[in-house]
Amino acid sequence: MSARTYEGSELELFEGAHNWKAYWADKVRPFVRGNALEVGAGIGANLTNFKQLGGVRWTLLEPDPALCDAIRQKIHSLQLPADTQVTCGMLRDLPPTPSFDTILYIDVLEHIESDRAEIEAASERLAADGHLIVLSPAYQAVYSPFDAAIGHYRRYDRRSLLSLTPPTLKPVGAFYLDSLGLALSAVNRFIARRRAPTPATIKVWDSSIVPLSRIADAIVGHRVGRSIIAVWQKQMPP
CB 161 within 8 A of CB 134: yes
Give the model's pLDDT for residue 201.
83
β-pair partners for 135: 106, 229
Please give the Cα distance from 119 to 123 (Å, whole number).
6
pLDDT for 6-54, tens place per residue? Answer: 554 556 677 788 999 999 999 999 999 999 999 999 999 999 899 888 8
CB 197 within 8 A of CB 185: no
Q: Where are the domains of the chain?
A: 10-234
**Residue 57 phi, psi (nearest 5):** -110, 120
Give the model's pLDDT for residue 1.
37
Reduce the secondary structure of the chain to three states and give it as a string: CCCCCCCCCHHHHHHCCHHHHHHHHHHHHHHCCCEEEEECCCCCHHHHHHCCCCCCEEEEEECCHHHHHHHHHHHHCCCCCCCCEEEECCHHHCCCCCCEEEEEEECCHHHCCCHHHHHHHHHHHEEEEEEEEEEEEECHHHCCHHHHHCCCCCCECHHHHHCCCCCCEEEEEEEEECCCHHHHHHHHHHHHCCCCCCHHHHHHHHHHHHHHHHHHHHHHCCCCCCEEEEEEEECCCC
In CATH, what is the architecture of 10-234? 3-Layer(aba) Sandwich (3.40)
- State if pTM tops 0.85: yes
CB 163 within 8 A of CB 145: no
CA dihedral (19, 175, 188, 143) positive or negative: positive
- Beta pairing class for 57-62 and 35-39: parallel
How many Cβ atoms from other residues are within 10 Å of residue 117's Cβ? 13
Residues 214-218 have a mean pLDDT of 97
Give the model's pLDDT for residue 80.
93
Task: Classify burial at 15, counting beta carbons within 10 Å of its beta carbon; exposed 0-12, middle 13-18, buried 19 or more.
Answer: middle
pLDDT for 137-190, tens place per residue? Answer: 999 999 988 888 888 999 999 999 999 999 999 999 999 999 999 987 776 565
Of the candidates 30, 45, 87, which has an alpha carbon nearest to the alpha carbon of residue 64? 87
Please give the Cα distance from 127 to 4 (Å, whole number).
28
CB 61 within 8 A of CB 94: yes
